[in-house]
Amino acid sequence: MSDPAAALALASSGLRFAPEDNPFRTVIADVTHRCNMVCRNCYIPNRDVPDLDADWLIALIARFPRRIRLRFVGAEPTMRRDLPDLIARVRDTGHLPVLLTNALKLADRRYVARLKASGLRTVHVSFDGGLDDDLYEAVDDLRCATKKLAALDNMCAENLFVTAGMILVRGVNDGHLPVFMDHLRSRPQVREIHLRSVGQIGRFMETDPFRLDELIRLAETALDRPRDSWQRVERGRSHLDFFVDGVKFQLTEWPDLGSEERGRITPEGFVEPFFEHVMANENRY
Ligand code: SF4
């Protein structure tokens, strides 16, 4: 975080919950800090943290007072060989497992089928370059369009629910948004599309991040729909959720402080607001 005083204030905000008191509907578990990519925008570039212990995680989430969406994040969760087993164990606790991934490994249809057989139904995938290898190289430092799009095909073929995410970098990939939106909206399995600005934390491109009002205008253009035609619009301090043609969109200006939506499991065994915890622990956890 660029402002140490703000980070300190967040770190000492006292907003932490024992598992029994967890108020969040979505809880994020950083299951590994290993990754097979080196993206130019990565809020969590620290690779020195050991993998989360599976037994510890399962025991902790079993204490939650109500059913939640347990989002596996990393760095890259598919680096863990035991990911299918972890998914099945989360299902056994009654919670809903969700995978957040760069999807390189999901280019293998057999792997996608295995994840589904373990109990996975929802996958969030980053598509920072959309359909274009040059854009992936510019944003993620890897020409990976073929693998990402093969992964999308595989997830659709396995009838998984897909959330497509894109970090928008001013003057780099924002112009590609209309073409990519058309591609995504032709896939009924794509249920959600998340667009967010670059987070100036961890490793990031020196750019002027989009503000929420700019993200709204970009979405209006990309969808060719004015905002007043969007449905079920909900505005938070730094995000806007809405539906168009049954697809949920989420626009987020990083960081979405004050959000009551997402919590993060901390190494000490508590749950804290996601963005606040990430910022207060920059480059550590
Ligand atoms: S953004 Fe995700 S996929 Fe890219 S380097 Fe970071 S953890 Fe890996």
Closest C-alpha among 167, 278, 201, 202 to residue 46: 202
CA of 39 to the centre of ligand 1 (A): 5
Does the bond joining 255 to the residue before it have cis omega, within 30 degrees of 0?
A: yes
Domain positions in the chain are 4-280
- Residue with the nearest Cα to atom 4 of ligand 1? 39
Q: Tell me the fold of 4-280.
A: TIM Barrel (3.20.20)
Query: In angstroms, what is the span from residue 116 Cα to ligand 1's centroid?
Result: 23
What is the structure's pLDDT at 283?
78
Atom in ligand 1 nearest the alpha carbon of residue 45: 6
256 in Cβ contact with 236 (< 8 Å): yes
User: What separation in angstroms does the CA of 38 have from each of 29, 47, 94, 113, 273?
Assistant: 20, 11, 34, 26, 26
Q: Give the pLDDT score at 14.
A: 64
Measured from the Cβ of residue 235, the count of other Cβ atoms closer than 10 Å reads 12
C-alpha to C-alpha distance for 266 and 108, rounded to whole angstroms: 32
User: CA 272 to CA 27: how far, in whole Å?
Assistant: 9
> Hunting for tokens 């060989």 — which residue is that?
81
Q: What are the pocket residues of ligand 1 if the criterion is a CB atom closer than 6 Å to any ligand atom?
A: 35, 37-39, 42, 44, 74-76, 102
Q: What is the 102 CA–ligand 1 centroid distance (Å)?
A: 7
Q: How far is the CA of 226 from the centre of ligand 1 (A)?
A: 33
- How confident is the model at residue 258, as a pLDDT? 83
What pLDDT score was predicted for residue 32? 97
Per-residue pLDDT tens digits for 174-218: 999 999 999 999 999 999 999 999 998 999 999 999 999 999 999
What pairs with residue 192 in β-bridges?
A: 163, 248
pLDDT-derived band at 241, boundaries 50, 70, 90? very high
Tens digit of each residue's pLDDT (9 = 90 or more) over 62-79: 999 999 999 999 999 999
The sign one gets for the Cα dihedral 145, 151, 152, 157 is positive
User: Ligand 1 mean position to 19 CA, how many Å?
Assistant: 27
pLDDT at 147 over 90: yes
Residue nearest to atom 1 of ligand 1 (CA): 42
d(CA 114, CA 15): 38
